[in-house]
Amino acid sequence: MLCSAFLLMVQVATAQEQKIAYIDTDYILSQMSEYEGVQQQLETISSEWNAELEKMKEEIEQLKEDFETKKILYTEKLRKKKKEEIQNKVQQRQQFLDQKFGAKGEYFRKQKELLAPIQRKVFNAVNTVAKRKDFDFVFDRAQNSNMLYSDKEWNLNNEVLEELGITLNDSSN
């Protein structure tokens, strides 16, 4: 009993010695000019592909409209052929959509390729600051984190930005 009480006290003392901080990668990335450039490149790429998807959609709609207006004039064989043509166009559009924006699509591969160096820089800067300030844990407050409360005293955003060579004016974060 005495031994387990001692172990509990040691665990509590150890937990109290741990230093915890947080960052907000969304904020840090928003301060990086490289990230803005990546976002612009991705927007350009996706705009081109979206325009192509829209063109394909209009073509499909036109084929469907033509079919509906002329189907009474078609033979059964021609009706079937026209329906297959429309279905093929729908499948081509879906394949294009999957190829460009699907889970393993070009957009996400390009995004990963372009963001990897930036994410590496941020990660290295966080590690450098955390080690310099003797933090045991650094959490990311960005997007859907479950951090319900955090004291600004433990916010490392500015130190990470400084490590990245980014200077801020006094009104920022």
pLDDT digits 0-9 by tens, 141-170: 887 666 545 567 777 888 888 888 888 766
Report CA 110 to chain centroid distance, whole Å: 12
pTM of the predicted structure, to 2 decimals = 0.66
Domains and CATH numbers, the chain: 21-163 (3.30.910)
List the one residue out of 28, 44, 57 whose CA is nearest residue 107: 44
**Cβ 20 vs Cβ 137: under 8 Å:** yes
Each residue's pLDDT tens digit, 68-108: 999 999 999 999 999 999 999 999 999 999 999 999 999 99
81, amino acid identity: K
Each residue's pLDDT tens digit, 10-26: 444 445 678 888 899 99
Q: How many CB atoms lie within 10 A of CB 157?
A: 22
- DSSP for 36-105, please give it: HHHHHHHHHHHHHHHHHHHHHHHHHHHHHHHHHHHGGGS-HHHHHHHHHHHHHHHHHHHHHHHHHHSTTS
**Cβ 140 vs Cβ 24: under 8 Å:** yes
Would you call 165 exposed, middle or buried from its count of C-beta atoms within 10 A (0-12, 13-18, 19+)? Answer: exposed
Q: Which two tokens stand for residue 36?
A: 């803005």
